[in-house]
Amino acid sequence: MDLLLTLVLSTAVQLLLFLYLRGRIEQQLNATDLLKNVQSEVDAMVRELNLSAERNIGVLEARLVEMEGLLAKADQKVLVLSRELERRDRSGETYTQLKKPVSEPELPPTPTPLALPPEAAPIAAPVEPVAPRTLRQRVIDLRLAGKNAAEIATATGATQGEVELILSLHQDQFTSRA
């Protein structure tokens, strides 16, 4: 009998344990609870994605503002560059015009010298008046005489930049004679 009682008691305990575990499994696998868990996880993921998208939009907007500022600066630089190119073209035209030979201006008539008494006047051949030379002619003559730009500028009273400009425009005259 002890054996039968142990067997019945053991079966009852196993049946109770079976029913308890079965209830727990059904509770865990219940479709509505499972669906609620999945729905809450999906909602959390959507919130996280929305926050990430808002951060990315903010970063993109900041970069767009920065890009617009850079484009404005680039437009200003392009405008300055185009002005400089126009100025360079105009200065090139000026240099080209300077390089063209310019006709000599007509000189005003020279006044006749006053007559000196015969005893004071030296006897010499009449001197023809010398026409004043242009800066360009004087610079070229001094260069042909072997002077450098600084020496020419000092001798003519012109700036060294003017002398260098004239020399660069008439460089072919110096290379053909060398």
* 84 in a structural domain: yes
Residues 70, 99: Cα–Cα separation, whole Å: 43
- Structural domain span for residue 78: 51-99
* 140 in a structural domain: yes
* Residue 169 pLDDT greater than 90, yes or no: no
* 59 in a structural domain: yes
Instruction: Encode pLDDT of 62-81 as tens digits.
Output: 999 999 999 999 999 999 98
Of 7-11, 44-48, 68-72, 131-135, where does mean pLDDT reach its minimum?
131-135
pTM: 0.34
* 78 in a structural domain: yes
Instruction: Encode pLDDT of 109-143 as tens digits.
Output: 665 555 555 555 555 555 566 666 888 899 999 99
* 37 in a structural domain: no
DSSP line for the chain: -HHHHHHHHHHHHHHHHHHHHHHHHHHHT-HHHHHHHHHHHHHHHHHHHHHHHHHHHHHHHHHHHHHHHHHHHHHHHHHHHHHHHHHHHHHHHHHHHHHSPPPPPPPPPPPPPPPPPTTTS---PPPPPPPPPPHHHHHHHHHHTT--HHHHHHHHT--HHHHHHHHHHTHHHHHHH-
* 154 in a structural domain: yes
* 157 in a structural domain: yes
Domains contained in the chain, number: 2
What does the pLDDT average to over 57-65? 95
* 166 in a structural domain: yes
